[in-house]
Amino acid sequence: MTQTGNNTTLEAHELECIRDDRILFSNLGFRLEPGQALVLEGRNGSGKTSLLRILCGIRLPEAGMVTWGATDIGKLGADYHVHTAYVGHRDGIKLDLTPLENLAMARALGKPSDITLEAALEKVDLCGFEDVLTRNLSAGQQRRLALARLLVTDTVLWILDEPFTSLDTHGIKVIEKLLEQHTASGGMLAVTSHHAVNLNNTPTQTINLSA
């Protein structure tokens, strides 16, 4: 399902990020291979979200660069984005659309995966909510819908900002299972989380930005 090889390595080189005059981090580097996970830890405001947005290519680092298969992601543009999926602070779903409509839009924005939209909803435990307006779902259900976006396109690198926000213990288990399946099939993860992330079967590197 996902391609493997040298061209799917994510590397960060000497990244520096400054916000409001404060150096959040500098000289930060790492290397992420298929099947691996990167977990970012740190206090509020330590730059976790900023780092994820730099990895997405939304934000420019003050210095340094991010490469995908040894090419600068700024140069790759859409050729990089086709391999990535991002779930940020904000869910990235429209409250006035139904879950199915939301997923259809998300799928059209990337390279479609083989899974049907209904099956994607089932995987995040949203069976039976296909045609309800998203506005009427609970916060946890909305978050799970946002995470279902990850499944409807065929991507290697998942970049997740606090994926477990507003999820209950059952929801967290469901999502953790999805993440493990993803890395098991050669996918990559970059995650920030307040909760301890339980990825027992995945080789994980942790970066603490407060240190």
Q: Where are the alpha helices (DSSP H) in the chain?
A: 48-56, 73-76, 78-81, 99-108, 117-123, 139-152, 169-184
Min dist. Cβ of residue 65 to other proteins (A): 11
Cα(86)–Cα(96) distance, integer angstroms: 21
Residues 139-178 that bind other proteins (CB under 8 A): 149
Q: Which of 1, 58, 127, 139 binds other proteins (CB under 8 A)?
A: 58
Residues of this chain, 22-51, that bind other proteins according to CB under 8 A: 23
Segment interacting with other proteins, rule: CB under 8 A, options 31-39, 104-112, 121-129, 197-205: 104-112
Q: Indicate whether 84 belongs to the interface with other proteins (CB under 8 A).
A: yes
Q: What would the 3-class secondary structure string for 20-37 be?
A: CCEEEEEEEEEEECCCCE
- 194: nearest Cα among 39, 8, 86: 39
The footprint of other proteins (CB under 8 A) covers 18-21, 23, 53, 56-60, 78-79, 81-82, 84, 86, 88-97, 101, 104-106, 108-112, 149
